[in-house]
Amino acid sequence: MKLVRYGQPGREKPGIIDADGRIRDLSKVVKDIDGEALSPKGLAKIKKQKVDKLPLVKGDPRLGSCVVQPRNFIAIGLNYSDHAAESGMPIPAEPIIFNKAPSSICGPNDDTMVPKGSTKLDWEIELGIVIGQRARYLSKKDALSVVAGYCAANDVSERAFQIERGGQWTKGKGCETFGPIGPWMVTADEVGNPQKLDMWLDVNGERKQTGNTSTMIFSCAHIVWYCSQFFVLEPGDVIVTGTPPGVGLGIKPTPQFLKPKDVVTLGITGLGEQRQKVVKFKA
């Protein structure tokens, strides 16, 4: 199943994509694409519906984030060896975990807003994992059993904030509009093996990133297991899993960063595509 949220910011409704690629309204089935809907019970309830009998959503509505704002928006750093190399950093012995502010989450096609004081705005295509069950101290063999589904994500980053301002990475990762996820969440049963997905990202129509989740240092199963050893994962939580090479910071000899009017497009096999226009800060 492909689950979506559509409508104006703050007023999104839950939906599902039908066999013809159209949005069907799920408002009478679930209140939102939230932790309750993403639980095994919630997904089973949705799966019982006759999708072609649900109300058809007319027009071309804005898409919100594919899940409602989670409690935890977790990110994994340097999870592709060639990206670590282009960043001038060693391959990590264990997953690098940091947080993106849940308030950074936005729709897949919403504008990316340049934050105040930004000088090095960058892009990162990533696979997102959506948690469907409360999980703590998982075993490795059971790790993927708590995953509701997967989505495309752009881990938008401000490198000066991240690298040059001291402290942890969070300040360069959690700005407003730095977390577009979607266009939809595809349930785990439909995705199958999450380590066989092609991914790409373009800036102004020029290919910058090409990769495949098979080249992750730490697999999705390892990441979910590892995170559960340190904190409780809740239904609806999102984990973005790292990016392949080709980020602006790594371009030689001169790094390339985003500026207003640039357009970023990206996609992952089976998980849809995103499009963001970069705009100046709006008060």
Identify whether the C-beta of residue 238 lies closer than 8 Å to the C-beta of residue 182: no
pTM of the complete model: 0.96
Look at residue 82 in the predicted model and tell me its pLDDT.
79
* pLDDT above 90 (res 87): no
Comparing 85 with 191, the larger pLDDT belongs to 191
> What confidence category does residue 84 fall into, taking pLDDT thresholds of 50, 70 and 90?
confident
d(CA 86, CA 122): 14
Look at residue 167 in the predicted model and tell me its pLDDT.
80
> What confidence category does residue 90 fall into, taking pLDDT thresholds of 50, 70 and 90?
confident
What CATH number is given for 73-279 in this structure? 3.90.850.10
Q: What is the pLDDT of residues 59-70, one digit of tens each?
A: 999 999 999 999
* pLDDT above 90 (res 88): no
* pLDDT above 90 (res 235): yes
* pLDDT above 90 (res 166): no
d(CA 168, CA 99): 9
Q: What is the pLDDT of residues 267-281, one digit of tens each?
A: 999 999 999 999 999
| Sequence ranges of the domains in the chain | 2-53, 73-279
Look at residue 49 in the predicted model and tell me its pLDDT.
97
Identify whether the C-beta of residue 279 lies closer than 8 Å to the C-beta of residue 111: yes
Dihedral (Cα; 186, 192, 198, 200), 10-degree rounding: 20
